[in-house]
Amino acid sequence: MGLTKSSTGLNILQEKFNVDVSSNQPVIALAGNPNTGKSTVFNALTGLNQHTGNWPGKTVLQAQGMYSHQNINYKLVDLPGTYSLLANSSEEEVARDFLYFGSPDVTVVVVDATVLERNLNLAYQIMEITPKVIICLNLLDEAKRKKININIPMLQDKLGVPVIPTVARDGFGLLELKDKIAQMVQGKAITNPQLVKYDEDIEEIINSLVPKMRSVYGEKENLRWLALKLIDGDQEIFNKLASKE
Ligand SMILES: Nc1nc2c(ncn2[C@@H]2O[C@H](COP(=O)(O)OP(=O)(O)OP(=O)(O)O)[C@@H](O)[C@H]2O)c(=O)[nH]1
Ligand SMILES: [Mg+2]
* CA 104–ligand 1 middle distance (angstroms): 23
Which has the closest alpha carbon to 107: 179, 32, 205, 167?
32
What DSSP element (H or E) covers 69?
Answer: strand 61-69
Nearest Cα residue to atom 13 of ligand 1: 37
Query: Which of 36, 40, 111, 116 has most ligand 1 atoms within 8 Å of CB, for mutation?
Result: 40
Residue 233 class from Cβ within 10 Å (0-12 exposed, 13-18 middle, 19+ buried)? exposed
Cross-strand bridge partners of residue 71: none
Cross-strand bridge partners of residue 29: 77, 107
Q: What is the pLDDT of residue 13?
A: 87
The C-alpha atoms of residue 231 and residue 218 are separated, in whole angstroms, by: 19
Q: What is the pLDDT of residue 2?
A: 39
**pLDDT tens string 4-28:** 566 666 778 888 898 887 778 999 9
pLDDT < 70: residue spans in the chain: 1-9, 245
Q: What is the pLDDT of residue 178?
A: 98
- Read out DSSP for 28-63? EEEEESTTSSHHHHHHHHHTTSEEEEE-TTSSSEEE
Q: What is the pLDDT of residue 14?
A: 86
* CA 37–ligand 2 middle distance (angstroms): 7
Looking at the CA of residue 43, tell me the nearest atom of ligand 1. Answer: 15
The C-alpha atoms of residue 72 and residue 165 are separated, in whole angstroms, by: 23
Query: Which of 33, 35, 110, 177 has most ligand 1 atoms within 8 Å of CB, for mutation?
Result: 35
The C-alpha atoms of residue 183 and residue 174 are separated, in whole angstroms, by: 14
Domains of the chain plus CATH, in order, are 7-185 (3.40.50.300), 200-242 (no CATH)
Q: What is the pLDDT of residue 241?
A: 87
Looking at the CA of residue 140, tell me the nearest atom of ligand 1. Answer: 31
The C-alpha atoms of residue 51 and residue 233 are separated, in whole angstroms, by: 36
Judged by DSSP in three states, 74 sits in: strand
* CA 82–ligand 1 middle distance (angstroms): 14
CB 81 within 8 A of CB 38: yes
Which has the closest alpha carbon to 128: 183, 205, 206, 200?
206
The ligand 1 site (C-beta within 6 Å) comprises 32, 34-40, 81, 138-139, 141-142, 167-169
Q: In one letter, which amino acid is 189?
A: A
* CA 204–ligand 2 middle distance (angstroms): 39
Q: What is the pLDDT of residue 6?
A: 63
* CA 77–ligand 2 middle distance (angstroms): 11
